Amino acid sequence: MSVNVKFFASMRETLGQSELQIDIDTNQTVAGIWSRVAKDLPMPDNTVCAVNHTQATPETLVSDGDEVAFFPPVTGG
Amino acid sequence: MSVNVKFFASMRETLGQSELQIDIDTNQTVAGIWSRVAKDLPMPDNTVCAVNHTQATPETLVSDGDEVAFFPPVTGG
Amino acid sequence: MTVQICKGAFDPWQSIQTHQRDNLTDGQYGATATFVGTMRDFNEGDDVCAMTLEHYPGMTESQLEEIIAESKAQWPLQDALIVHRVGEMHPGEPIVLVACWSAHRAAAFDACRFLMEALKSRAPFWKKETLHDNSHRWVEKNTDGYSSH
Amino acid sequence: MTVQICKGAFDPWQSIQTHQRDNLTDGQYGATATFVGTMRDFNEGDDVCAMTLEHYPGMTESQLEEIIAESKAQWPLQDALIVHRVGEMHPGEPIVLVACWSAHRAAAFDACRFLMEALKSRAPFWKKETLHDNSHRWVEKNTDGYSSH
Distant-in-sequence, close-in-space partners of B41: CB < 8 Å, separation ≥ 6? B14, B15
pLDDT at C143 over 80: no
Report the pLDDT value the prediction gives residue D44, as an integer from 0 to 100: 82
DSSP assignment, residue B30?
H
Q: How far is CA D86 from CA C3, C83, D89, in A?
A: 35, 33, 8
* Cβ neighbourhood burial of A40 (10 Å; 0-12, 13-18, 19+): exposed
Whether C110 maps to a domain, the answer reads yes
pLDDT at C83 over 70: yes
Residues in chain D within 8 Å Cβ distance of A77: 37, 84, 95-96, 116, 119-120, 123, 125, 142
Report the pLDDT value the prediction gives residue C51, as an integer from 0 to 100: 96
Q: Is C18 helix (H, G, I), strand (E, B) or coil?
A: helix
Whether D17 maps to a domain, the answer reads yes
CB contact under 8 A, C148 and D106: yes
Amino acid, single-letter form, for residue A74: V
Residue of chain D nearest C17, judged by CA positions? D13
Residues in chain B within 8 Å Cβ distance of C119: 76-77
Spatial contact of B50 and C59, defined as CB atoms under 8 Å apart: yes
Q: Is A8 on the interface with D (CB under 8 A)?
A: yes
Percent of chain B with pLDDT over 90: 92
Assign D128 a pLDDT band (cuts: 50, 70, 90): very high
Rounded to an integer, the average pLDDT of D122-145 is 92
Whether D75 maps to a domain, the answer reads yes
Q: Is D137 on the interface with A (CB under 8 A)?
A: no
Percent of chain B with pLDDT over 70: 100
CB contact under 8 A, A72 and D140: yes
Whether D49 maps to a domain, the answer reads yes
Report the candidate in D15, D8, D142 with the shortest Cα–Cα distance to residue D88.
D8
Report the pLDDT value the prediction gives residue D148, as an integer from 0 to 100: 54
Report the pLDDT value the prediction gives residue C44, as an integer from 0 to 100: 82
Distance CA(C16)–CA(C80), nearest Å, equals 10
Residue of chain D nearest C12, judged by CA positions? D13
Structural domains of chain B in order of their starting residue, each with its CATH number: 2-71 (3.10.20.30)
Percent of chain D with pLDDT over 70: 98
Distant-in-sequence, close-in-space partners of A37: CB < 8 Å, separation ≥ 6? A5, A15, A20, A22
At A7-31, the pLDDT tens digits run: 999 999 999 999 999 999 888 999 9
ipTM score of complex: 0.94
Report the pLDDT value the prediction gives residue D45, as an integer from 0 to 100: 83
Q: Torsion over CA of A57, A63, A68 and A74, rounded to 10 degrees?
A: -40
Q: Is C144 on the interface with B (CB under 8 A)?
A: no
Assign D78 a pLDDT band (cuts: 50, 70, 90): very high
Rounded to an integer, the average pLDDT of C28-41 is 97
Report the pLDDT value the prediction gives residue D144, as an integer from 0 to 100: 77
Spatial contact of B53 and C62, defined as CB atoms under 8 Å apart: yes
Helix (H) or strand (E) holding D4: strand D2-6
Distant-in-sequence, close-in-space partners of A3: CB < 8 Å, separation ≥ 6? A21, A22, A24, A28, A33, A62, A64, A65, A66, A67, A68
User: What does the radius of gyration of chain C's CA atoms come to, in whole angstroms?
Assistant: 16
Residues in chain C within 8 Å Cβ distance of D144: 106
Report the pLDDT value the prediction gives residue C148, as an integer from 0 to 100: 55
Residues in chain C within 8 Å Cβ distance of B55: 122
C89: domain CATH number is: 3.90.1170.40
Report the pLDDT value the prediction gives residue D145, as an integer from 0 to 100: 83
pLDDT at C149 over 80: no
Assign B58 a pLDDT band (cuts: 50, 70, 90): very high
Residue of chain B nearest C87, judged by CA positions? B76
CA end-to-end span of chain B, whole Å?
37
CB contact under 8 A, A6 and D125: no
Average pLDDT, chain D: 95
Rounded to an integer, the average pLDDT of C77-98 is 98
Whether D146 maps to a domain, the answer reads no
Segment of C132-146, D13-27, D41-55 carrying the highest mean pLDDT: D13-27
DSSP assignment, residue B58?
T
Whether D149 maps to a domain, the answer reads no
Whether C144 maps to a domain, the answer reads no
pLDDT at C96 over 80: yes
> Which residue of B10, B69, B74 is in closest CB contact with C125?
B74
Rounded to an integer, the average pLDDT of B44-59 is 97
Amino acid, single-letter form, for residue A1: M
A10 vs D46, which has greater pLDDT? Answer: A10
At D83-118, the pLDDT tens digits run: 999 999 999 999 999 999 999 999 999 999 999 999
Domain enclosing residue C31, as ranges: 2-138
Say how many domains are in chain C. 1
